[in-house]
Structure 1
Amino acid sequence: MTPPRAKKSIQPATTRARLQAVIKESRNIMRKDAGLNGELDRLPQLAWLLFLRALDEVEEERQINDPDYRPAVTGRYRWSEWAKGGTTGQPLLTFVEDQLLPHLRGLRGSGRAGDPRDTVAQIFEHIDNRMHSGYLLAELVRQLDKVDFANGDDIHTMAHLYESMLKEMRDAAGDSGEFYTPRPLVRFMTAMVDPRPGEVVMDPAMGTGGFLVEAFDHMRTRATTATQLEQVQAAVRGTEKKSMPFLLAQMNFLLHGIDRPAVVQTNALSTPIADMRRDGVDVVLTNPPFGGEEERGVQSNFPAGMQTAETVWLFLQAVMARLERTKGRCAIVVPNSVLFDQGIGARIKAELMKKFTLHTVLRLPNGVFAPYTLIPSNVLFFEHGPQQDHVWFYEHPLPEGRKNYTKTKPMAYEELADCTAWWGGPEREGRRETEQAWQVPVAEIVESGYSLDQRNPNRPDDLSHRPPAELVAELIETEREMLVLLEQMEREIKDFAL
């Protein structure tokens, strides 16, 4: 066993501004390398190097706190050994490509959930060094060694790295509907759903793991016994289709002390829905991709009459299946189209309100997901059980004087305090109508074809006093809704022709 080393001196935690400076310089270094062509090459190179940097710090800390802990990476393969050794040029390339990466791919653990050796081997199975210059690689390693992961709360900077680079890559953010959820919204959704020790929490589209980390922290603060702490460790489940966010999620888990996450890199929709029902969970917290399309092989996993290429509808069915037998509960981010969609969408909403209580629809203002999209979004909160005779709607207002949220002025958690107070605790007691909150009879929703696109009756709709930009935005959204309905009709005509 590698003996624990003396604890290093505490360095200031990495601030977001400092991380941005480090990443900017790192990208400048990588731009000089002939082996890296654009962000699609630079992001994976940055990610696996930062993973090893973070893993080394975590394992050092764990060895100090637990003398029996066996690190995944030992000896000359530790970041603190090879990255600080001064090797450069061709010798560094030879070491990384012929020794380090093969060693990491070949790690073998106990096979038990949470063994870090198995986790590292899984992550590095398809990782390669893409840099051609050993001198530039050494310069990059020295730069990344400046990132300090001492403060667990600042690990969210890693997700910020992925998000900021996605924007510039422009190949994922808007086109594939992949919108990373702001942390204040993640925190609010988790608090309202309130996962508890002994429950299993899942995110079937986990991205960099934000919901699962928040749920883990939420449950851990409520664990009062050793047994409950053990249950919390085994409570995290998730899937992610893309390799890069999956790698970042694994790092996120390691740095937050989640030792046994049951997470896999796969398409969550590739499992037959009957198997999803058998493999249930207690809580689902998720923000599935908007606007994506799934191939017919994936669609065939869902019931006839409920099959569609639209990813968000398939995810909604998958979530319902996971919660059906366990009588679980959910908070899921959906675009406006889910609220007003008819056809298959109406049938899926009818199924939802038949098997579950859709108790709250949180309507979010423009810009919550800036800079990825300005598409208005919502959060559906539901739990297993007979549908109540009404559905509550809550319209989250923008801060006074603001037209929308932006990248530089995003949503803050404190702005959700009024909604938290109105919520009424776990039992949702004492709710009342306000300027932001109103209830709609279920009979009215059914009569409308299961439309959840319900306007706030408590807010004056005086066109003469509304800002022109707001009116234009509403017209654009109306046109977008019409386009979605026309596209839906077009798909249904094609499906009928087939």
Structure 2
Amino acid sequence: MASRSAGKGAPTTTRAKLASTIKSARDIMRKDAGLNGDLDRLPQLSWLMFLKAFDERVEQAGSVLNLDFRPAIEGPYRWQDWATDEDLSGEELTSFVNNELLPYLRGLEGKDSDDPRNVISTVFKEIHNRMLSGVLLRDLVNIVNQIHFTSEDDIHTMAFVYESILKEMRDAAGDSGEFYTPRPVNRFMVQQSFLKLGESILDPASGTGGFLTQAYDELREQADTSAKQKQLHDDIRGIEKKSLPYLLCTMNLLLHGIDNPRLIRDNALLRMRNETGPAHKVDVVLTNPPFGGEEEASVVANFPEGYRTQETAWLFVHSILEKLKRGGRCAIVLPNGSLFGGGIGARIKEKLMKECNLHTIVRLPQGVFAPYTQIPANLLFFEKTGPTEETWFYEIPLPAGRRGYTKTKPMQVEEFAACTTWWGGEARNGREETEFAWRVSAETIKASGYNLDLSNPHAGDDLAHRSPEDLVNELIESEQEILSLLEELRAGLAGGQ
């Protein structure tokens, strides 16, 4: 659906008012005994906002623009029917939501892949109302009714606030082993992929949609006609296996103006293995696949002999090689362990370098994903244009005076500025070796058994030029930190006796 502006007198929501409204909503949810922490509260708020946004952006707008428009959600299940009825409260409201509304939404079926009813039923497939109090649920619905999605300004405002909600959601999810890509990282990866209007862009591990929304923002100004906007909406594609990230990603794309997100709820490894025809291939892949996990044997069995491994990250790399069009390109996050791993991992790296030009590996500072994991990560950029001849490495240094990142002091986008300048634009012209950049021939990498975990050859020079006083001070600081951790451990052991 083409963008539209609010008419005269149409309600709008300022960023400050929206932030206050969201805070009020969360205060209400904290009172409900059925919700435990943000992992319950934020999904509850998101599916309610989804229904309000869908009603305003798609249903009401469609009925105005098209006299023959048939709503995807029929009465009395439309937001405008039940959510605005303030007499519907208490047990009557929870009974309606639990026993009528949500089963109806889960059972919707569309006639074709573009039918929004398919999106709705997939979103609500595993969604449940977790609020026990119908009175508090009515209060929450009334709060959501104060949020408006009737103009592009509203959408931009809500998208900004929703990003902050997602960040908190990612922080909470990190405690359960899921690590989402920091915004500066996915912004850099998108920018250095040099996206073009008309290219199909896929994130097969889309999570909450960071790569997809960044890619959309990168291209949306170029989509200056309704036809170009529709094409861009169709070209932004994602696959997500888990229900909660799928809901959050769908909402995120909806808030960015994509009214019918091209998201698939499925195991991406199975989906990509089964979709092998030319029509299913894509121009660009941007992704941070799960790493450190193990796939089920039934999933691994779908891969060719010699490439069967339970390491999820390598299965994604193999699948992406098959998914890319000739001339397509990829930017992917991989941990250090994948870079130096041998065995099947080495075979997949060999396949990668034979089929693609692995032109750049950006080595991130340790702790970019802190505080959830200290595993060092790397950004690999490759193109399906023929075999690799040489690979450039660029090491992003920690900011001066910093020893790592924390939850309150994360990585900033400005830390990529020097690498962006060095990159040399889309053609990668004029690259030179520096204290942070070096290149390695494909023959050297092959001789090493396809080890890509290559240290900066200039790092030793930097160490040699540091003063003894600096080295001693850093050693003392490290020892004090270790001593503090040991004291905390001792106290914890004593407390457990």
Q: Which TM-score band (shorter chain)?
A: 0.7 to 0.9
Distance 1:229 1:306, change over 3 A: same
- The answer for the alignment partner of 2:162 in structure 1 is 158
1: distance between equivalents of 2:175 and 2:165?
Answer: 17
Give the unaligned 5+ runs of structure 2: 1-5, 483-497
Letter paired with 2:338: V
- The answer for the alignment partner of 1:47 in structure 2 is 46
- The answer for the alignment partner of 2:117 in structure 1 is 117
- 1:26-61 deviation line (CA, Å, top 9, x unaligned): 44122xx2x446666545433322322333443488
- The answer for the alignment partner of 2:493 in structure 1 is none
Written as runs of structure 1 = structure 2, the 5 A alignment for 1:160-309 is 160-165=164-169, 167-168=171-172, 172-173=173-174, 176=177, 178-223=178-223, 227-271=227-271, 273=273, 275-276=275-276, 278=278, 279-309=280-310
Secondary structure of the structure 2 residue equivalent to 1:326: strand
Give the unaligned 5+ runs of structure 1: 477-498
Shift of the alpha carbon at 1:329?
0.3
Instruction: Establish whether residue 415 from structure 1 lines up as the match of residue 415 from structure 2.
Output: yes
Secondary structure of the structure 1 residue equivalent to 2:31: helix
- The answer for the alignment partner of 2:393 in structure 1 is 393
Does the 8 A contact of 2:42 with 2:165 survive in 1? no
Does the 8 A contact of 1:273 with 1:318 survive in 2? yes
2: distance between equivalents of 1:138 and 1:119?
Answer: 26
Shift of the alpha carbon at 1:358?
0.4
2: distance between equivalents of 1:131 and 1:19?
Answer: 19
Letter paired with 2:94: L
Written as runs of structure 1 = structure 2, the 5 A alignment for 1:86-97 is 86-87=86-87, 88-97=89-98
Does the 8 A contact of 1:202 with 1:281 survive in 2? yes
- 1:326-345 deviation line (CA, Å, top 9, x unaligned): 33100001111111111211
Does the 8 A contact of 1:206 with 1:212 survive in 2? yes
Written as runs of structure 1 = structure 2, the 5 A alignment for 1:321-336 is 321-323=322-324, 325-336=325-336
Distance 1:241 1:108, change over 3 A: closer
- 1:386-443 deviation line (CA, Å, top 9, x unaligned): 3343211111122322222222222222332222111111111111122222212222
2: distance between equivalents of 1:302 and 1:470?
Answer: 50
Identity of aligned residues (%): 47
Shift of the alpha carbon at 1:138?
1.8
Does the 8 A contact of 2:328 with 2:383 survive in 1? yes
Does the 8 A contact of 2:204 with 2:239 survive in 1? yes
Instruction: Establish whether residue 436 from structure 1 lines up as the match of residue 440 from structure 2.
Output: no
1: distance between equivalents of 2:185 and 2:344?
Answer: 28
Letter paired with 2:298: G
Written as runs of structure 1 = structure 2, the 5 A alignment for 1:369-408 is 369-408=369-408
- The answer for the alignment partner of 2:11 in structure 1 is 9
Shift of the alpha carbon at 1:367?
3.0
Does the 8 A contact of 1:55 with 1:255 survive in 2? no
2: distance between equivalents of 1:181 and 1:434?
Answer: 27
Secondary structure of the structure 2 residue equivalent to 1:250: helix
- 1:240-286 deviation line (CA, Å, top 9, x unaligned): 01001101111122222224433211111124737446531110000
Letter paired with 1:213: T
2: distance between equivalents of 1:317 and 1:156?
Answer: 35
Letter paired with 1:196: K
Aligned residue pair count: 462
Which deviates the most, 283-292 or 387-396? 387-396
Does the 8 A contact of 1:92 with 1:138 survive in 2? yes
Which deviates the most, 261-270 or 295-304? 261-270
Distance 1:256 1:40, change over 3 A: closer
1:21 to 17, 23, 31: 23
Letter paired with 2:232: V
TM-score (norm 2): 0.82
- The answer for the alignment partner of 2:463 in structure 1 is 461
1: distance between equivalents of 2:271 and 2:399?
Answer: 42
Shift of the alpha carbon at 1:157?
3.9
Distance 1:175 1:341, change over 3 A: farther
2: distance between equivalents of 1:72 and 1:274?
Answer: 30
Distance 1:12 1:67, change over 3 A: farther
Distance 1:20 1:372, change over 3 A: farther
Does the 8 A contact of 1:308 with 1:314 survive in 2? yes
2: distance between equivalents of 1:293 and 1:471?
Answer: 37
- 1:47-106 deviation line (CA, Å, top 9, x unaligned): 322322333443488469946676544665444553343232122223323443244334
Letter paired with 1:430: G
Which deviates the most, 434-443 or 242-251? 434-443
1: distance between equivalents of 2:20 and 2:182?
Answer: 20
- 1:320-372 deviation line (CA, Å, top 9, x unaligned): 1111x433100001111111111211111111101000000011113322333
Letter paired with 1:161: I
Which deviates the most, 402-411 or 4-13? 4-13
- 1:437-495 deviation line (CA, Å, top 9, x unaligned): 2212222222222111112123413375456379969xx9xxxxxxxxxxxxxxxxxxx
Which deviates the most, 154-163 or 454-463? 154-163
- The answer for the alignment partner of 2:313 in structure 1 is 312
Distance 1:395 1:143, change over 3 A: same
Letter paired with 1:58: R
Distance 1:26 1:394, change over 3 A: farther
Written as runs of structure 1 = structure 2, the 5 A alignment for 1:63-82 is 66=65, 72-73=72-73, 77-79=77-79, 82=82
1: distance between equivalents of 2:179 and 2:476?
Answer: 23
2: distance between equivalents of 1:329 and 1:298?
Answer: 25
2: distance between equivalents of 1:195 and 1:122?
Answer: 29
TM-score (norm 1): 0.82
- 1:181-233 deviation line (CA, Å, top 9, x unaligned): 12222121111112212211111100112211222232333346655444322
2: distance between equivalents of 1:374 and 1:360?
Answer: 23
Letter paired with 2:378: N
1: distance between equivalents of 2:91 and 2:157?
Answer: 37
Does the 8 A contact of 2:433 with 2:439 survive in 1? yes
